[in-house]
Amino acid sequence: MDRFIDFFQTFWRYGKFGRVSTVPEWLGRRYNSKALQVIVSVLILFNVYYIVGQNVGLATIFETVIGIPYVWGIIIGVTITILYIGLGGAFAQMITDGIQGLLMAIASILIFVSFFWTIGGGINVFGELTSQLNAVDPNLTKAIGGVEGPYNSVLAIMAVQFLLFSFILMPHLLNKILSIETEEELAPFTLSTGVVLFVISTLMVLGGLAARVLFPALDSADAAIPMYVIESFPTIISAIIIVGIISAILSSTDSLYLGVTTSIGNDSYRILAPLFKKDLTKEQIDSQSLKVAKGSLIVVGLLSLYISLDRPESLSILIQFSFSAILSGILAPIALGYFWKKATNYGAIAAVITGAGLYVAFTQLNLIENIYLAMFFASLASFVVMGIVGLLTATEKHEELVLKKTV
């Protein structure tokens, strides 16, 4: 935990020192490279698929709980989210994310408590859950699952752990670190968010396992939690939990929208506009980049709506494709930029292109079908490429840019 806090402190200090507000901007300042900033901002567009995943999740809840057709659920979900962000902007996100996260944590705890009457077994509830899962499908309780699915080998499971460790570097999460006002808030923020994230991610997975027992023939795995909640709780409690789940979706989605639109306006337009219109003043660039960011909210929303209409086979796989593509590109530049004196802008650019490019090639050309292994090997390749390019291009000028813990 101390190493995480130390990393975030250095990341935050450098962000405040450089007056940056986004991860692409942070990388651009760290490596003194506007080209890198623009390239990473383009990479952030993979978050559109993450947004699609949130749209699908919201529509699935509407479909399962209220009976609204999937297509109308998508339209309603996208409309609500765009209005929510458009009216409140970043301020609404900052104020409500904490509340929504707390609601989701409460919902997760309630789902866990329900095991005592849905699964049974008393204090041996986990043993009972294991037995019932084994009765549904013996592969569900094996250390390594069956031949199908992404968790079918020890290496794949190790790659999942690598992904979970890397997830803290997602831009829409690191942006929260950059938004903190004082350094004294970093430790309590890191600890509290870590605890809440652990509660939500762990207990909701257990809820999915319980739903697998109660509804073994469910058509869509994405409907497992909503169905479990409806069948396991009184109407009022079910409504509270569903609100908690919707809150989590809105919390993630508004962060993703703002991350994408801010990157378009701040990290792409602000850098590229002066190259095409050299007579623009700083005030004009600031004003126009804000307009571009606001306008891109509608464009991104409509694009995500269009993609969402074709329902994906797996909500989880779609979301993981999105952030794995981003992490494959930015993991090496952030990690090596933290401590390695020979981390150069050329190496960082090569790493971003190599990592993201290989991940897309691995998954779309079926070179590596397992998405977790694809991310692991793509990330490993980006580290190797950045190391080689860094050794070949490093100068004293580059070494002066290494992060200082006292900036």
pLDDT in tens, 293-335: 888 989 999 999 999 998 888 788 888 888 889 989 999 998 8
The C-alpha R_g of the chain, in whole angstroms, comes to 22
Q: Which of 91-105, 187-201, 250-264, 358-372 is predicted most confidently? A: 358-372
Over 80: is that where the pLDDT of 170 sits? no
Over 60: is that where the pLDDT of 401 sits? no
Q: What angle do CA 22, 27, 32 make, to 5 degrees?
A: 125
Residue 377 binned pLDDT confidence (cut-offs 50, 70, 90) = very high
Query: Average pLDDT of 76-85?
Result: 84
Residue 43 binned pLDDT confidence (cut-offs 50, 70, 90) = very high
Q: What is the pLDDT of residue 147?
A: 58
Entry pTM = 0.83
Burial of 129 (0-12, 13-18, 19+ CB in 10 A): buried
Long-range contacts of 387-391 (CB under 8 A, 24+ apart): 387/336, 387/347, 388/347, 389/344, 389/346, 389/347, 389/350, 389/351, 390/336, 390/340, 390/342, 390/343, 390/344, 390/346, 390/347, 391/342
CB atoms within 10 A of CB 195: 11
Higher pLDDT, 347 or 65: 347
pLDDT, averaged across the chain: 82
Residue 405 binned pLDDT confidence (cut-offs 50, 70, 90) = very low
Higher pLDDT, 146 or 389: 389
Residue 64 binned pLDDT confidence (cut-offs 50, 70, 90) = confident
Q: What is the pLDDT of residue 1?
A: 54
What CA–CA distance (Å, rounded) separates 8 from 187?
A: 9
Query: Average pLDDT of 61-71?
Result: 88
Query: Average pLDDT of 11-39?
Result: 80
DSSP helix/strand/coil, 120: coil
Residue with tokens 């079908």: 369
pLDDT in tens, 128-157: 998 998 888 887 887 775 556 677 777 878
What CA–CA distance (Å, rounded) separates 24 from 268?
A: 9
pLDDT in tens, 195-218: 887 888 888 888 888 998 898 877
Higher pLDDT, 328 or 82: 328
Alpha carbon separation from 330 to 5, 114, 174, 179 (Å, rounded): 20, 40, 12, 20
pLDDT in tens, 251-282: 778 878 888 888 898 888 888 888 887 777 77
CATH superfamily of 2-399: Sodium/glucose cotransporter (1.20.1730.10)
Over 90: is that where the pLDDT of 358 sits? yes
Q: Percent of the chain having pLDDT more than 90?
A: 20
Over 70: is that where the pLDDT of 119 sits? yes
Burial of 274 (0-12, 13-18, 19+ CB in 10 A): middle
Over 90: is that where the pLDDT of 177 sits? no
| Sequence ranges of the domains in the chain | 2-399
Q: What is the pLDDT of residue 329?
A: 92
